[in-house]
Amino acid sequence: MLVSDLKNIIREVPDYPKPGIVFYDLTTLFKNGGAFRTVIERLAERFREDKIDMVVGIEARGFMLAAALAYEYGLGIVPVRKPGKLPWRITGEDYTLEYGQGRLEVHEDAVEKGQRVLIVDDVLATGGTAAATGRLINRLGASVCGYAFLVELCFLNGRDLLRSDNVFSLISYP
């Protein structure tokens, strides 16, 4: 499948989860094997030269992309999770998102000092979620070598919050 065809199979759900929000429902893309393969191949290609040590996925839809990318690179994957889900010692960050407040947590030993990390999520909206994940990774002494998204909502200027010039999204909505 071509990247240009992917937009057609993303379901746009108006007024979810709140009035005025258009929710980009990726389940219609994820269940299509050809589409999912195209997404992973193209994202993997984009960051292949970035000397990544670890792939970080943001709960929950980010896990699907991050796991496939990590497998493709032969690398490990680290989950950044919503509060109370991780069993061991954690560090956490609060953030603001398009439709509410959130907090994300990661295990203190998830990454090693000096490692180069690729952060992966499904949608870049206001950037709060990805920026908070970047702060978590930096606090553990690792560096963010890139941010990978399937969809970017450009009108929310999320990439302005990410202190990186290596931000890529496969599909963008102007």
Query: How far from the centroid of its chain's Cα atoms is residue 70's Cα?
Result: 13
Quick one: which of 1, 98, 115, 168 contacts ligand AMP (CB under 6 A)? 98
Q: Nearer to ligand AMP by C-beta: 53 or 93?
A: 93
CB contact at 8 A, 51 and 116 = yes
3 binds ligand AMP (CB under 6 A): no
Q: Nearer to ligand AMP by C-beta: 18 or 139?
A: 18
> Which own/partner contact pairs does 37-40 have at CB distance under 8 Å and 24+ positions apart?
37/1, 38/1, 38/2, 38/3, 38/6, 39/6, 39/65, 39/150, 39/170, 40/65, 40/68, 40/69, 40/72
Quick one: which of 6, 36, 55, 61 contacts ligand AMP (CB under 6 A)? 61
The piece of 39-47, 85-93, 116-124, 137-145 that touches ligand AMP (CB under 6 A) is: 116-124
158 binds ligand AMP (CB under 6 A): yes
The residues in 67-96 that bind ligand AMP, with binding defined as CB under 6 A, are none
Per-residue CA distances from 132 to 13, 53, 88, 129, 173 (Å): 26, 20, 20, 5, 23
Q: How deeply is 72 buried, as exposed, middle or buried, from its count of CB atoms within 10 A (0-12, 13-18, 19+)? A: middle
Quick one: which of 6, 29, 124, 170 contacts ligand AMP (CB under 6 A)? 124
Q: Nearer to ligand AMP by C-beta: 24 or 47?
A: 24
Smallest gap, in angstroms, from Cβ of residue 26 to ligand AMP? 7
122 binds ligand AMP (CB under 6 A): yes
Binding mask 4-43 for ligand AMP (x = CB under 6 A): -----------------xxxx-------------------
Query: How far from the centroid of its chain's Cα atoms is residue 127's Cα?
Result: 10
